[in-house]
Structure 1
Amino acid sequence: MSNVLDPYDQTYFSFGRAAGVTNLLQCVWVYDRGIDVDGVRTFHHHLRQGLLARRIERSRLPFGRDRWVSPDGAPGLEVVANPRPRAEFDAWLDEQADIPLDAEHGPGWHLAVLPFADGGAGLSLTVSHCLIDGVGLSQAVADAAAGDQHPIAWPAAGSRGRWQSLAEDAVQAVRDMPAVGRAVVAAAGFARRQRGAAASQPAIVDESDDRVTLSTATIFVDADEWNTRANVLKGTANTLLAGMAARLALRVGRVTADGSATPSIPVNTRSECDTRANAITNVDITVDPVGAAIDLSEIRAATKQALIRSKDVPDERWALLPLVPLLPEQVKKRVVGVVTGGTTNVVSSNLGDTAPALNKPDGTDADYFAMKSLYPGVTKAIMHRTGGVLALLSGRVNGRVFVSALAYQPGRNNSDDQLRQDLSSVLRDFSITASTDWGATQADSPELCDLTA
């Protein structure tokens, strides 16, 4: 088993470092009763032995591929001593997301427990996306909760001497040269095709290094209702999410000049014993968002064709990955917008059915679970350079479908309340009943349909 970073993982880490942005995944559990802290401690112990038990060691060569190594220490478990009202749970989750994580120096993840003053408890697990993707994290968490340990013996940090590391990384660079040559050819063609598109991109209107807070919202839908609506609309659970993404893009003005929506759908490519952090590819579709809430046939057909096409014609952006270690830091920073898909891209990521153990961090079923994608510390300059962000992440857990949304649209109101209102409008379009309730009272957390009243 090689510990050299996969080209996609190398790109993800390199671009994030150049842009100064850390993409996080946050798993959230809520118990309406007391939690077994000893069970959580066991869960935490098992997490320290799976795919999360690693960090990245930089190559000594400026153009070398980085490597996975064992961490210097293990993150501790945080158990908050002073309970807080359940109504403050979302604020506490934001605080957890602001705790610095570092895939290179560590810690790469953090687990915390918050007892509620009015009964019950909440848990947060934040993880650097450089360590793992959503599907991989779901499996790692489920394995840890079930006690299914799969320890991986990564080399110790600094275990290679200076000359050994230089020699080995140089050999790896030579092995990469054929792929680099193909990437140069692909880059020339890609640049030609992007010239016209670049002319239509809006100018960067803000180069401020001020931090911005992206808007977030999480909803819960009964799984049977979700499937029923998908069937009625001639779609699937996956295409229903893509349809919602398309309608939300229309709602916030994130569409092409002709009004089309361009959902990007991550596709899981993780195999057994796969140690890649981000084992995915993307398929992009272009659809009419206006009719999405009436008939999902177009989105279903477009997704099917895109999946078939991706097997024969891989995403050209993937062909460029071998070039990334050769790019100067400033160039990496400037091309982030190209990699993320531009100003109309909307991500529609579906974890699908998850392992039951995912919902059992203390050994028993939590009442609620959701996974969120976050960008703490992102600046205005990055958001304007990339054209903002709009992403939906969904999965089925314990009889519910969760949908978490992340958004920032330059020049628009980017509050959580506004995003909830936009989601509420989209849900009404699809005749779906949903709630933002984490198990609190309705006075604390009203139904989504009441948010725009």
Structure 2
Amino acid sequence: MPISRARNAIRARQEGAVAVRAPGRLSVVDEIFLRTHRGLGTPIALQGLWRTTDRIEPDLLRRVHAALRTGPLGRRVVRPRIPGARRAWQANTDAHPLVLADRPLPVAALFEWADAQGADLDPEFGPGWRLSATALDDGGSLVSLTCSHALADGRALVLAIDDAMGGRSLAAGPDHARTEALDPHAVGSESDWVDARRQWSTVLRGTAKALRGGIPERPHPPTAREPVRTTGAPTHSAVLQCAVADWDRAAAAHHGTANSLFLALVANTLWATGFPNDTIDASLPVDTRDEPRVDNDLAMTDITVDRTDTPATIREKSRAAYEHRMSSPGGMPEELLQVIPDRWAYALSKGAGERDILCSNIGAMPATLRTLGPHRCLGVAARAIHPGLTAAHLPRTRLSGYLCRLADDYVLSLVSLDPDRVESGSALATFARKTLELPVRVW
């Protein structure tokens, strides 16, 4: 995107800062990720990574940083005054300073640097996102945008940077934002009292309906992990880039789709690491947006993959799974998790979406992300990282995969959470390359 276009879009955003929309109340999913931020579950931050062919000038990044401050990520969580009311979003232009590392970073240390960009994110009491960049010793640059998962899911992070770079605008009118700025406990024209009454009414009606069938069984505890022997880093990462033509040709040869090939690849990579079970349970996030917006607009479903499955059979399993999303235990209303204490809510929902692998297909990147100003992007990766996670608190998930498409390439990001079987990022990349058997470029 030309610098002049980016500059004009960012200036318009800054001049209209009062019009930024902080979307009303937190959803059930938002609050699940807010609890993980507080240590009730696995900490998760979303990250977009851009690799460019040359050095990026600081002024361009400063303008993008300024646009993000007044964009849809510029918000924080506000606690309600009335029990039962949902937490609310309030516009927040505070931001972590732009981090610019001038000393070239060895490409071999790329992920070590990227993983560190998730520190000190706080969607409630401080900035929940960070923009940073470093020069690389191959002559290019690496740019990172990281945000707490409480603020956004993977697709939402893409929409937020597209908005900041002058692509699709996500700003709303001024009335809503001014109301929240004056009284964070009145979202739009709705007070905490009104929201609390609605929440309690929904919970009581839904609970009474669920109890007609008897007292629901207690949720099954998540599968326990065996103790980890390794004392080093709990996670290791790899990014592989493959031509769309090659990927699609391989999918078609197996009577599958690009997505089912992705699922098969992640499952088979886990088996290649030495995972002993004959079946792998896969968690599949499903984008539920009916319009572009920056939030956690997703549902979860799952499939079981066995060693005889192919992209064709996985395609059929996935098609059936997308019709049956995960729901709350015993048919209880999910809003129950928002009116009870956080520790109770965590106990009821602990490990709910965790399986052996997670496969998140984020989709196509907007055209605005193919370049950063005049700088051509070699690749754009989207993934989740786990700031503060230790080997003693690893989740059930052993391997996470994230797929996106940038122009004529698919970019596959893998994060291993099994340090006993995957000792480094290069080892993870080797497992994936052997499984894929396609020409790839490893970051």
In the superposition, the TM-score normalised over structure 2's length comes to 0.81
Q: Distance in 1 between matches of 2:332 and 2:298?
A: 14
Matches within 5 A, 1:30-429: 30-61=51-82, 63-97=84-118, 99-146=119-166, 148-152=168-172, 154=177, 159-160=182-183, 168-181=191-204, 182=206, 192=217, 194-195=219-220, 198=221, 201-202=223-224, 213-252=234-273, 259-272=278-291, 274-275=293-294, 277-288=295-306, 290-292=307-309, 295-310=310-325, 315-316=327-328, 320-335=333-348, 337-341=350-354, 344-383=355-394, 386-409=395-418, 412-413=421-422, 415-427=424-436
Q: Can you list the C-alpha shifts for 1:98-123, whole angstroms capped at 9, x where unaligned?
A: x3111112211111121235522221
* Count of residue pairs brought into register by the alignment: 413
Amino acid of the structure 2 residue aligned with 1:103: P
Q: Distance in 1 between matches of 2:284 and 2:273?
A: 19
SS of corresponding position for 2:376: coil
Amino acid of the structure 2 residue aligned with 1:282: M
Query: 1:440 maps to what in 2?
Result: none
Q: Distance in 2 between matches of 1:108 and 1:36?
A: 25
Amino acid of the structure 2 residue aligned with 1:436: V
Amino acid of the structure 2 residue aligned with 1:302: K
User: Which shifted more, 3-12 or 244-253?
Assistant: 244-253
Q: Can you list the C-alpha shifts for 1:421-448, whole angstroms capped at 9, x where unaligned?
A: 4323322xxx3232313xxxxxxxxxxx
Cα 1:203–1:371 change in 2 (3 A) is closer
SS of corresponding position for 1:308: coil
Q: Distance in 2 between matches of 1:32 and 1:162?
A: 47
Q: Distance in 2 between matches of 1:190 and 1:411?
A: 41
Amino acid of the structure 1 residue aligned with 2:313: E
> In the alignment, is the contact (CA less than 8 A) between 1:215 and 1:414 conserved in 2?
yes
Amino acid of the structure 2 residue aligned with 1:264: S
> In the alignment, is the contact (CA less than 8 A) between 1:227 and 1:237 conserved in 2?
yes
User: Which shifted more, 142-151 or 46-55?
Assistant: 142-151
Q: Can you list the C-alpha shifts for 1:334-358, whole angstroms capped at 9, x where unaligned?
A: 45543233xx431111122221112
Give the gaps of 5 or more residues in structure 1.
438-453
Cα 1:251–1:87 change in 2 (3 A) is closer
Cα deviation, residue 11, structure 1: 2.5
Cα 1:91–1:306 change in 2 (3 A) is closer
Query: 1:446 maps to what in 2?
Result: none
Q: Can you list the C-alpha shifts for 1:342-386, whole angstroms capped at 9, x where unaligned?
A: xx4311111222211123233543122111210110134432xx3
> In the alignment, is the contact (CA less than 8 A) between 1:13 and 1:130 conserved in 2?
yes
Cα 1:121–1:204 change in 2 (3 A) is closer
SS of corresponding position for 2:217: helix
Give the gaps of 5 or more residues in structure 2.
1-20
In the superposition, the TM-score normalised over structure 1's length comes to 0.79
SS of corresponding position for 1:331: helix
Query: 2:12 maps to what in 1?
Result: none
Q: Does 1:434 align with 2:440?
A: yes
SS of corresponding position for 2:290: coil
> In the alignment, is the contact (CA less than 8 A) between 1:133 and 1:278 conserved in 2?
yes
Q: Distance in 1 between matches of 2:128 and 2:249?
A: 39
Amino acid of the structure 1 residue aligned with 2:24: N
SS of corresponding position for 1:357: helix
Q: Distance in 1 between matches of 2:225 and 2:400?
A: 22
SS of corresponding position for 2:337: helix
Q: Distance in 1 between matches of 2:397 and 2:44?
A: 14
Q: Can you list the C-alpha shifts for 1:98-149, whole angstroms capped at 9, x where unaligned?
A: x311111221111112123552222111111111111111122123223554
Cα deviation, residue 162, structure 1: 8.2
Cα 1:161–1:33 change in 2 (3 A) is closer
- Identity within the alignment, %: 26
Q: Distance in 1 between matches of 2:101 and 2:45?
A: 21
Q: Distance in 2 between matches of 1:22 and 1:161?
A: 27
> In the alignment, is the contact (CA less than 8 A) between 2:356 and 2:398 conserved in 1?
yes
Cα deviation, residue 183, structure 1: 5.1
Amino acid of the structure 2 residue aligned with 1:393: Y
SS of corresponding position for 1:192: coil
Amino acid of the structure 2 residue aligned with 1:372: R
Q: Distance in 1 between matches of 2:314 and 2:127?
A: 40
Cα deviation, residue 193, structure 1: 7.5
